[in-house]
Structure 1
Amino acid sequence: MNEVWKKPPVSLATYQGMVGQEIGVSSWHLVDQNRINLYADVIEDHQFIHVDPERAKRETSFGNTIAHGFLTMSLMSIMSYEVMPIIEGTTLGVNYGFDKLRFISPVRAGSRVRGRFVLAEARLRKPKELQSRTNVTVEIEGEDKPALVADWIGLIYFA
């Protein structure tokens, strides 16, 4: 089993008490050209700024290829598994979407990114359904501006 799933669970009351607090910061994750190429194959987006290092260096101000914004966004999943607590009695958690998502800075091939998570809301919508809203900033190692900022909503279901 992956280490990120071995965290001890917290009570619902403890989780709700974390609203307004930074929950944590993930480890760094490498966004290398291989990862970018694999992602391009999955989503069938082979625009040169992502997959052709020579052309990207020659024809863009990035100086290198850059990750798809949605690749950077998708890495938030593993980052959240590392950081966000598991609530006792949870049977299922699903991605409910975003109220806000902005790509602030490009992630150049070879960069490392990490996620910073602040719990903004944790309210019961139904007796066994919690809506959780997390403000996420994905930082780029060595850069002043983040790769993205997001207001991410999840639904957590209980037995």
Structure 2
Amino acid sequence: MEEILFDDIATLERRISDDYGPWSEALDVPQPMITAFAEMTGDRQWIHVDTDRAVAESPFGTTIAHGFLVLSLSAIIKNSADYAIVGHASALNYGLEKVRFVSPVPSGSRIHGRTRIARVAREKGGTMLTVQVAIHIVGAERPALCFDWMLLYRG
């Protein structure tokens, strides 16, 4: 794994690519996880928690994960890069842009993700990295979720 100093703008810029990196490890999204997320957030819509009704009425034939659950899991599965950014005192989640919930994630699915660096800029006493993230159900060509993640690395 290549280690890149957080303030080595030139090396980070060479990593900007139209191609996504390798897939992360797959992660299961079972119904108990979906139900726990519903309880934690108060979002108990039947499409997420009522398996009998979802089988009978949902176009997906089962319950589906909350979009925000899948988004929160991206903190785990985005770490698929073949590089590590080092030498910083802190890395701050600066925000998300272009969040799109493209496809549903049925209960019991396995998801994985991959990333690519889209932008690098010296900013606010550090380096701002914009990483494009795509989360897919394993085996699916179309993503379930995609977004740009802005991370500020400070010395």
- Residues 1:93 and 2:91 are matched in the alignment: yes
- Residues 1:46 and 2:44 are matched in the alignment: yes
- Residues 1:67 and 2:65 are matched in the alignment: yes
Q: How does 1:135-150 map to 2 (within 5 A)?
A: 135-150=132-147
Bigger CA drift: 128-137 or 101-110? 128-137
Q: Aligned-residue CA RMSD in angstroms?
A: 1.8
Give ranges in structure 1 of 5+ residues lacking alignment.
Answer: 1-6
What is the deviation of 1:83?
3.0
| Local SS of the residue matching 1:22 | coil
Give ranges in structure 2 of 5+ residues lacking alignment.
Answer: none
- Percent sequence identity over matched residues? 36
- Residues 1:15 and 2:15 are matched in the alignment: no
Structure 1 residues 16, 144: closer, same or farther in 2, change over 3 A?
A: closer
**2:88 partner letter:** T
Q: In the alignment, is the contact (CA less than 8 A) between 1:15 and 1:87 conserved in 2?
A: no
- Residues 1:132 and 2:117 are matched in the alignment: no
**Which residue number corresponds to residue 4 of structure 1?**
none
- Residues 1:119 and 2:113 are matched in the alignment: no
What is the deviation of 1:99?
2.0
**2:106 partner letter:** R
What is the deviation of 1:90?
1.3
TM-score normalized with structure 2 length = 0.87
**1:39 partner letter:** F
**Which residue number corresponds to residue 156 of structure 1?**
153
| Local SS of the residue matching 1:134 | strand
**What number of residue pairs does the alignment pair up?**
151
